[in-house]
Amino acid sequence: MTSLAQQPEQPAPPGEDPRTHLLDGHALDEYRRAVGDGVDRVARRIAAAHGPVSGTAAADLAPLVAAIDLDTPLPDTAAALDELEGIYLRDAVYFHHPRYLAHLNCPVVVPALVAEAVLSAVNSSLDTVDQSVGATVIEQRLIRWTADRIGLGARADGVFTSGGTQSNLQALLIARDRARAGAPAGTAPRRLRILASEVAHFSVVTAARLLGLGPGAVVPVPCDAGRRMRTDALARELRRCAARGETVMAVVATAGTTDFGSIDPLGQVADLCAATGAWLHVDAAYGCGLLVSRRRAALDGIERADSVTVDFHKSFFQPVSSSAVLVRERSALGHVTHHAEYLNPARDADKPVRDQVDKSLQTTRRFDALKLWLTLRVMGADGVGALFDAVVDRAAQAADLIAADPRFELACRPALSTLVFRFRCDEDRSDDVVAHVREALWSSGAAVVAATTVEGRRWLKFTLLNPRTTVEDVAEVLDAIAEHARDHLARPHRAALACAG
Ligand SMILES: *Cc1c(COP(=O)(O)O)cnc(C)c1O
């Protein structure tokens, strides 16, 4: 075992003195070499990738990982990276591949990767200005920029978060505390309710549970055929809550639902919120790409929100994590402020640049904002918007393809870049076909596709976030799906076999 206490007087040979691994003036050659080696290996994997995935299952990798003795290090970084090839790099899911069509994972832009290398090496922490100086100012500028794109007004503010889940949680925490503060002095707030469409993200329900709201606090509002919240139904639920003595602490409108990309009618929802005094939170985790696209008008009404979630790691081509929560009134963020004597004492609250920790659920926090900064400085907002527009265009073309293809049934026209569809067959075998097709595509390594449930049935889902995915790619994956589906249907039905047996 090496330990500093046992260090001999003479400098230890490199590799035995653990201090040689610290990034400081002694390690610069090794730093450049080792990081370069890591980057090279990723580049080689990308160059060699024939598909988005090798087809290896996680269960096959588990024993390899389990067999590694973590208490016995390898001789050097190169050896550790060699080992990593077999347990991670070879079989990772590569989102840059044009036939990765599954979840909301985007290919990432190079300026953001440069930023990742910079931000983790400098290792600024965005809690207090005295740990981050320029980083805090850069993050605040990006929040201002995003708020201006949304149109939230001069008093808006916000903070970067780890993702849409945390952004939604923080927005709903603010809404809950506002509702509580609004209850007459000395009385408990009436039962709190959150109204969100029936296809809103599950993190709304998670947030309600974390906020102690109890089961049934999130009331699902029915959607129209395009999977947008029905405002007549919203108005009815608002009246029902009032009649039952419940307080609607927030209405969550989704701008880009995870399955359908559908955008709730933001202006009409805002009207109903204004009429009833409900907090309007817009979850634009996916749809935020529209802020820089030529389709910006699709978000009209978002400027009336009290709070907004944006996920740059979904539609701004940023590496995970990069998200933000924004509020119209900066004082609303005071709901999470806690003054710790050792960190951000109240007596410092009027210093010229505010500590971001005063606005965040996190304390130590990555400088993720730098990725968006370098992206905007290299590509410009229009460059990012053009990438997002390309995938929305592609989804429309792919929808035409599927709608015209007698082999498939399309659930609805895409509003952004997702497609929900299925292979036409006997209703009672359809769920099974979806599961088989996904598995067969995965193990062949040819493509990765997702699935979801619509009205109790399983459907296949494409999420197009790669501007290099062509209509031909989509057509070939559809052919592969049809082939796997037919193979599967040609085999005897498991249920039928069970009956026969
Ligand atoms: C992905 C998503 C979320 C959750 O965001 P994470 O970054 O995964 O935490 C919330 N809302 C919607 C609509 C989403 O698509």
Q: Is position 221 within any domain?
A: yes
Cα 20 to ligand 1 centre (Å): 40
Cα 253 to ligand 1 centre (Å): 13
Query: Which of 223, 263, 314, 318 for a ligand 1 pocket mutation test, highest count of atoms within 8 Å of Cβ?
Result: 314
Torsion of CA 318, 144, 146, 227, to 10 degrees: 120
Residue closest via CA to ligand 1's atom 15 equals 258
Cβ–ligand 1 contact at 285 (below 6 Å):
yes
Q: Is position 163 within any domain?
A: yes
Cis-peptide, bond into residue 125, ω within 30° of zero:
no
Cα 257 to ligand 1 centre (Å): 9
Residue closest via CA to ligand 1's atom 4 equals 164
Cβ–ligand 1 contact at 163 (below 6 Å):
yes
Cβ–ligand 1 contact at 165 (below 6 Å):
yes
Q: Ligand 1 atom closest to Cα of 257? A: 13
Query: Which of 258, 322, 417 for a ligand 1 pocket mutation test, highest count of atoms within 8 Å of Cβ?
Result: 258
Cβ–ligand 1 contact at 104 (below 6 Å):
yes
Cα 426 to ligand 1 centre (Å): 33
Q: Ligand 1 atom closest to Cα of 166? A: 9
Structure tokens at 51: 């598909």
Cα 165 to ligand 1 centre (Å): 6
- Number of residues written out for the chain: 501
Cα 440 to ligand 1 centre (Å): 27
Cα 109 to ligand 1 centre (Å): 20
Q: Is position 140 within any domain?
A: yes
Yes or no: say if 292 and 257 are a contact pair by the CB < 8 Å rule.
no
Q: Is position 115 within any domain?
A: no
Residue 278 to residue 249: CA distance in whole angstroms:
6
Q: Is position 208 within any domain?
A: yes
Residue closest via CA to ligand 1's atom 7 equals 163
Q: Is position 490 within any domain?
A: no
Residue 275 to residue 278: CA distance in whole angstroms:
8
Residue 214 to residue 308: CA distance in whole angstroms:
24
- Its pTM stands at 0.94
Cβ–ligand 1 contact at 389 (below 6 Å):
no
Give me the CATH number covering residue 320: 3.40.640.10
Cβ–ligand 1 contact at 311 (below 6 Å):
yes
Cβ–ligand 1 contact at 289 (below 6 Å):
no
The three-class DSSP label of residue 44 is helix
Cβ–ligand 1 contact at 164 (below 6 Å):
yes
Q: Is position 313 within any domain?
A: yes
The three-class DSSP label of residue 207 is helix
Domain count for the chain, please give it: 1
Cα 168 to ligand 1 centre (Å): 9
Q: Is position 434 within any domain?
A: no
Cβ–ligand 1 contact at 303 (below 6 Å):
no
Separate counts of helices (H) and strands (E) for the chain: 14, 12
**The pLDDT of residue 4:** 55
Taking only the tens of pLDDT, the chain with its 501 residues reads 445 555 555 655 555 799 999 999 999 999 999 999 999 999 999 999 999 999 999 999 999 999 999 999 999 999 999 999 999 999 999 999 999 999 999 999 999 999 999 999 999 999 999 999 999 999 999 999 999 999 999 999 999 999 999 999 999 999 999 999 887 776 666 799 999 999 999 999 999 999 999 889 999 999 999 999 999 999 999 999 999 999 999 999 999 999 999 999 999 999 999 999 999 999 999 999 999 999 999 999 999 999 999 999 999 999 999 999 999 999 999 888 888 888 888 877 778 888 999 999 999 999 999 999 999 999 999 999 999 999 999 999 999 999 999 999 999 999 999 999 999 999 999 999 999 999 999 999 999 999 999 999 999 999 999 999 999 999 999 999 999 999 999 987 665 555 443
**The pLDDT of residue 190:** 72
Query: What's at 469, amino acid-wise?
Result: T
Residue ranges in 67-194 assigned as alpha helix (H): 77-84, 110-122, 134-150, 164-182
Domain boundaries, position 245: 123-376
Query: Which of 197, 198, 201 for a ligand 1 pocket mutation test, highest count of atoms within 8 Å of Cβ?
Result: 201
